[in-house]
Structure 1
Amino acid sequence: MTIEIIHSRSEGTLIEGSAKGDGVYEIVRRHGFRYMPSIGQLGIRQSRDRAAKTWYINAAAAALREAGFEVNVTIDESNRRSFAEAEADRVERAEGRAERFSGYADNAANRSESAYQHGHQVADGIPMGQPILVGHHSERRARRDVERIDHAMRTSISESEKASYWSGRQRAAEGYEQFRKAPRRTLRRIERLQADLRRVQRRQREESAEGSGRDVTNQELVIRHEELTEEIAYWEAVIAEAEKNGFKVWSKADFKKGDFVRRGKTWFEVLRVNAKSVTIPHIHNGIGGGVVRASDNKLDGWTWLLTYDEVFGRRSAEEMEAALAASTTE
């Protein structure tokens, strides 16, 4: 029997040629492989859109060969999905989860209601205030009814908790795309990705220099460079769409010393303008809202760096004075 261990970025790491009961699973599960019911194959979970985990693959292949299997290993890192395709697939799967969790929640709610009604039906057959008559021929049935009522109520509560749990999972799945594309979160993601891209570019320059002028390339660095460039462009398009819909992307150009910046419900005077943030009096000065000036800093001069993705508004010193004057006359 020939076992094929195949990795591509588009499909992840999968095993082909194995059948239930052939002993392959028992061998490879010790090396990171699991059975994935959604596709009916053995593979490494969360290996799509990632570089091959060669230490797992090589260890599994060696163990299979030792057990008498013929094993072929194929790794094709160039076969990959675009980031847009991968993200669309993630959104589609989230929608599928939301639909599935909705069904789970409905079923649990129905079981809870059914158990509740059953318990009340049993209780309705017992006269109000009727005690258990010890020694009477009705004692056994009365005790059995108490147990049935208790079991029904416990089942109803348990199923109600399950319904709440699955409803929560449903809401999370439904909000996946909105969560991913939230502008402020997306800005932070872009910054991290740009830092990753700079590190990759630095490593590529170092490898080229070590090659003494020869075209020295590392395949994984080249692919990672392409992936990061693609992903950054995707999220920048998300921000551009958000800006069309009224979202403001703040930057150094929007502020000067003495302006006021809003964080949450509090306005802070800008002490210094930096490339990626503004320096303000420490946020503990602003508990409860209002306006915090430089002179209001009561924490031994402590300051706070407020990054531009955390900014919710700006006022010049003149605009702030006018707003405060208007609020006192109202």
Structure 2
Amino acid sequence: MKAVTVTHTAEDGTLIDGTSKGDGTNVILKAHGWRWFPSLSTWGIRNSRDRAPKRHIITATADALRAAGFDVDIDIDPTARPTALVEADRAARQAARVDALAAKAERRSTQADQAWNAEERAVDALPPGGEPIKIGHHSEGRHRRAIDKAHNATRKAIDATDAAKNAQQRADAAAVTTRARYSPETVANRISTLEAEQRAEQRRLDGHERTLFIHHGFGTPRRPPPLQAHSASRSSPAWQSAPTRSPTGSRSAPSRSQTAPPPITDPTPSP
């Protein structure tokens, strides 16, 4: 029975040791949200450094591994690190990431230049003047291979250029993220947000209840005016009445005398 160990520390996060390629652990770990970290050559849980251990994921993973025939040992250290140490470690990792991405962008750029040089040589090897393929001639095969080679070289050069642009964009984004995180304005906004959340939590602990419509100066609730129901008299003229019911219970439309507006009289007195 193969033994694996799940560990958690504030510095390293949640990792698993003892797995190997082809042992079937990758399927179980992927199903439970684990990720392979190439820089560490091991499986782990994302964003688990300096966080509380995600015990529900750890327990579910351990149960699945035991059901698959593995011997699982769990070692969790929930001790938190000082904030200054956490920020210093984060800044160091971010700086290393920026350097690694910048180096990758440089390599991709060099590969793109080499790919375009190869593309130029492949195009120059084609027959001059755009000579068509001579069907049935002994040069037909060589001509077709030269065209395919030039086409493939152009495709590789374009892909290499796109990869170089992508790597450079990632390097620039990482550098901007590092500068923005520790800029004075960002830090001040973060402090203001935390202070506001702390005040709100303290008010909740003190039993404060927010009341709307408070009349300033008196401290008594000021209720909004009650909503008035829309009646037929507000939505229609006073001279128009609703349909009436006959003694037999059937609804009848209002008569012409009921629906007709009142006559308009001339206010000027007659001579």
TM-score of the superposed pair, with normalisation by structure 2: 0.63
The 8 Å contact of residues 33 and 43 in structure 1, kept in 2 or not, is answered as: yes
Higher relative contact order (CA 8 A, sep 6+): 2
Secondary structure of the corresponding residue to residue 6 of structure 1? strand
- Per the alignment, residue 183 of structure 2 pairs with 182
Q: Which amino acid aligns with 1:114?
A: Q
Instruction: Tell me, in whole angstroms, the C-alpha distance in 1 between the residues paired with 2:75 and 2:198.
Output: 28
Deviation at residue 175 of structure 1 after TM alignment: 2.8
The 8 Å contact of residues 95 and 178 in structure 2, kept in 1 or not, is answered as: no
Structure 1: which 5+ runs fail to align? 207-330
Instruction: Tell me, in whole angstroms, the C-alpha distance in 2 between the residues paired with 1:137 and 1:22.
Output: 54
Q: Which amino acid aligns with 1:105?
A: A
Q: Which amino acid aligns with 2:80?
A: R
Q: Does 1:132 align with 2:133?
A: yes
When residues 143 and 85 of structure 1 are mapped into structure 2, their CA distance, relative to the original with a 3 A threshold, is: same
- Per the alignment, residue 8 of structure 1 pairs with 9
What is the CA deviation profile of residues 221-241 of structure 1, one whole-angstrom value per residue up to 9, with x for unaligned ones? xxxxxxxxxxxxxxxxxxxxx
The 8 Å contact of residues 9 and 81 in structure 1, kept in 2 or not, is answered as: yes
- Per the alignment, residue 303 of structure 1 pairs with none
- Per the alignment, residue 41 of structure 1 pairs with 42
Instruction: Tell me, in whole angstroms, the C-alpha distance in 2 between the residues paired with 1:199 and 1:97.
Output: 37
Q: Which amino acid aligns with 1:93?
A: R
When residues 199 and 22 of structure 1 are mapped into structure 2, their CA distance, relative to the original with a 3 A threshold, is: farther
**In the comparison of the two structures, how many residue pairs are matched?**
204
Deviates more, 1:171-180 or 1:197-206: 197-206
Greater per-residue helix proportion: 1
Instruction: Tell me, in whole angstroms, the C-alpha distance in 2 between the residues paired with 1:131 and 1:23.
Output: 55
What is the CA deviation profile of residues 282-303 of structure 1, one whole-angstrom value per residue up to 9, with x for unaligned ones? xxxxxxxxxxxxxxxxxxxxxx
- Per the alignment, residue 89 of structure 2 pairs with 89
The 8 Å contact of residues 25 and 34 in structure 1, kept in 2 or not, is answered as: no
When residues 50 and 182 of structure 1 are mapped into structure 2, their CA distance, relative to the original with a 3 A threshold, is: same
What is the CA deviation profile of residues 136-190 of structure 1, one whole-angstrom value per residue up to 9, with x for unaligned ones? 3222222221221111112111101110110111112233321112333333222
When residues 196 and 11 of structure 1 are mapped into structure 2, their CA distance, relative to the original with a 3 A threshold, is: farther
Structure 2: which 5+ runs fail to align? 208-271
- Per the alignment, residue 113 of structure 2 pairs with 113
Deviation at residue 202 of structure 1 after TM alignment: 6.1
- Per the alignment, residue 102 of structure 1 pairs with 102
What is the CA deviation profile of residues 68-123 of structure 1, one whole-angstrom value per residue up to 9, with x for unaligned ones? 5554444433x222223222222222222223223322332223222222222233
When residues 35 and 116 of structure 1 are mapped into structure 2, their CA distance, relative to the original with a 3 A threshold, is: closer
Greater per-residue strand proportion: 1
- Map 1:42-61 → 2, pairs under 5 A: 42-61=43-62
Instruction: Tell me, in whole angstroms, the C-alpha distance in 2 between the residues paired with 1:122 and 1:35.
Output: 40
When residues 15 and 202 of structure 1 are mapped into structure 2, their CA distance, relative to the original with a 3 A threshold, is: farther
Q: Which amino acid aligns with 1:167?
A: Q
Q: Which amino acid aligns with 1:59?
A: A
Instruction: Tell me, in whole angstroms, the C-alpha distance in 2 between the residues paired with 1:90 and 1:141.
Output: 57
Q: Which amino acid aligns with 1:135?
A: G
Secondary structure of the corresponding residue to residue 42 of structure 1? strand
Instruction: Tell me, in whole angstroms, the C-alpha distance in 1 between the residues paired with 2:122 and 2:32.
Output: 54
TM-score of the superposed pair, with normalisation by structure 1: 0.53
Instruction: Tell me, in whole angstroms, the C-alpha distance in 2 between the residues paired with 1:29 and 1:135.
Output: 56
